[in-house]
A and B are shown apart, each in its own frame.
Chain A
Amino acid sequence: MTTATLFILLLACMGMGMPIAIALGLSSIVTILFFSNDSLASIALKLFESTSEHYTLLAIPFFILSSSFLSTGGVARRLIDFAVDSVGHIRGGLAMASVMACMLFAAVSGSSPATVAAIGTIVIAGMVRAGYPESFAAGVIANAGTLGILIPPSIVMLVYAAATEVSAARMFMAGFLPGLMMGGILMVAIYIVARVKNLPSRPFPGVIKLIKSGATALGGLMLIIIVLGSIYGGIASPTEAAAVAAVYGFFIAVVGYRDIGPLRKIPWRYPDEKLSRAALRNTHQSVAALFKSAIDPEIKEVLLDATKTSLMLLFIIANAMLFAHVLTTERIPHMIAETIVLWGLPVWGFLVVVNILLLIAGNFMEPSAIILIMAPILFPIATQLGIDPIHLGIIMVVNMEIGMLTPPVGLNLFVTAGITKRDIGWVIRAALPWLGLLLIFLMLITYVPQISLFLPEYLDARAGY
């Protein structure tokens, strides 16, 4: 009865188009009021606690902030240059370079649609000019863009860590290998297609140019090194690493790359300017820029963007914690788990059900929202069946990746359609063969837990973090 009330209310509210946060909160409060003895005051306190007692959760706004500083066209351009110089000379190299650029940008920005928009805009046109079929280019990018939520640091993983209280650092480690693997699978598939279809390659630009573009891209890539290095090295918690990343992101975007903010279009060195003079000018300009940033309209735009996304996510999380509270006090997941055990459903059977459930949910909702609703239900069941929580997390994330490529909510499809100016049906057809690869990858991840668990367990054994 309680279970039915909770879920029917939740689905009805969400179906009416109510914000997911409020739908979660309302259905939880009503269930508590009808079926338990908690007072409204204690519910209010619970909501306040869920916004103010989780230090780990702060990593979410910080990472969002750092990614909004670095999700600019300029950063995308530099990463693409580096990727093209490194793998462009292989047959089908431009497409492979696009996948590589997507992986790098995904790691820096942590957002899938932003990856497709930033990388796709430049490389799809580039690939078409180089003689690739447009549907091939669009399909590759729409798929490679989904890597954003699998390669750490990833916001969706932080949300999972918040919902289930597993360590965010371990989730990040677990996502690393699968992320590289998916990128590798895509590149191998591209190579095979390129051989069969005889797609073009580019001449090798030379080691010097490679080092040069690598050094330019390093400004953005350092972010990944700082974050992952300090988390894995055990120096800082994910929250602290995220705060450092946000400040670093600001410096690179405003002072280093000068894509946004007061120093925009002021070069490091004017032609014919003396080196000493340029150094002096840059020093005082950089310091001045720090103060000017406080009133700069572009910086404010970036901040507001990050604000909107963070408060939306944190408000859902606060309400989702109420929802999770109802689930645990009413022992709903435990009852489902007992039923499943009673049926004698094997572990693989449960995982198949999980996959199907998540794929369906992925058609209608955002990744973070799905994780916040489904994780508190699936997590206790999985623990009872002996599935590692980290492994379950990676399965959920890969499912969410596929959700970004299936209508009607598949964000990556819409972004790709926007870039190529084609209709959504064309994009779906273009992405379909690559989506097949993603499904095979999902099966691999689901049934070979070692892919996800190898790295965290290896580092555990070495007491690395």
Chain B
Amino acid sequence: MLTKLINKTEEGILCIMLVGMTLLVFVEVILRFGFNTGLLWAEEVTLYISAWFVLFGASYGIKVGAHIAVEAFVKLLPDNIRRLVASVAIILSVIYCGLFLYGSWIYLTKMKMIGIEMEDLPIPKWIAMSILFIGFVFLGIRLLQLLWDVITGKQLGFHVIDEAEETLHLFEEIEQIELAEDAAETRAGQ
């Protein structure tokens, strides 16, 4: 139940950010051409949303396996060794996270001390940039979860979306339409 709620929230936030960015740029275009005005803060906000989108989404990407990787070599290994290699890769990724957490913590505390605000909005810069730290905390959590799944044998590695499989849903969708049409035609023929 809780995981379902977290999933929904995560997906909801990401979708809203994507739609928000799109609409902001769209509205700005309309304002410029239709009314010859613009929103002064729109560009900065759009860019910050994009940063939040990417850094918040990185952990979601680990969860759903959206990040692409080179699978050709690990696929050749037997399952046990493959899981071992994957564990090493995940531990290295956690180190990557740790380095960023450390760096962004230092940076953010400095920014808080100096107390600069964003260019067009009266928001302290360290709050606007806090996603740098938050995002990597989430990424770290997802990676540790993944590590546990690999160790307990629930997974073989970063389960990567197979893009070929992904696009084949189009094929199934079209095939269903065709079948329905054929059925309608035969009925009409009778």
Contacts and interface: CB of A to CB of B under 8 A. Distances in A.
The reply to whether chain A is a binding partner of chain B is yes
Interface of A: 13-23, 25-26, 29, 33, 39-45, 47-48, 51-53, 55, 57-58, 61-62, 65, 71-74, 76-77, 111, 113-114, 116-118, 120-122, 125, 235-236, 239-240, 243-244, 246-247, 300, 303-304, 306-312, 314-316, 318, 364-366, 369, 408-409, 411, 414-415, 418-419
Contacts of B95: 26
Interface string B129-154: 10010000000000000000000000
A116 B68 CA distance: 20
Nearest to B174: A73
A401 to B, nearest CB: 16
Contact of A19 (B54, B60, B67): B67
A306 B57 CA distance: 12
Interface in B33-85: 33, 43, 46-48, 50-51, 53-55, 57-58, 60-62, 64, 66-74, 85
A419 to B, nearest CB: 6
B70 A14 contact: yes
B93 A240 contact: no
Given A13-B92, A17-B85, A303-B19, A419 B171 contact: yes
B163 interface: yes
27 contacts: A14-B69, A15-B74, A16-B89, A16-B92, A17-B69, A17-B85, A22-B96, A26-B95, A40-B99, A51-B51, A51-B55, A74-B177, A76-B174, A77-B174, A117-B168, A121-B170, A303-B15, A303-B18, A303-B19, A304-B14, A311-B53, A311-B54, A312-B67, A314-B50, A314-B53, A409-B72, A419-B168
B26 to A, nearest CB: 5
Contacts of B178: 122, 125
Contacts of B68: 19-20, 312, 316, 366, 369
Given A62-B25, A118-B174, A244-B26, A51 B99 contact: no
A160 B33 CA distance: 29
Given A13-B92, A52-B51, 11 more contacts: A14-B69, A19-B93, A43-B100, A58-B21, A61-B22, A62-B21, A235-B33, A307-B14, A311-B54, A311-B60, A312-B68
A411 B71 CA distance: 13
Contact of B69 (A18, A42, A414): A18
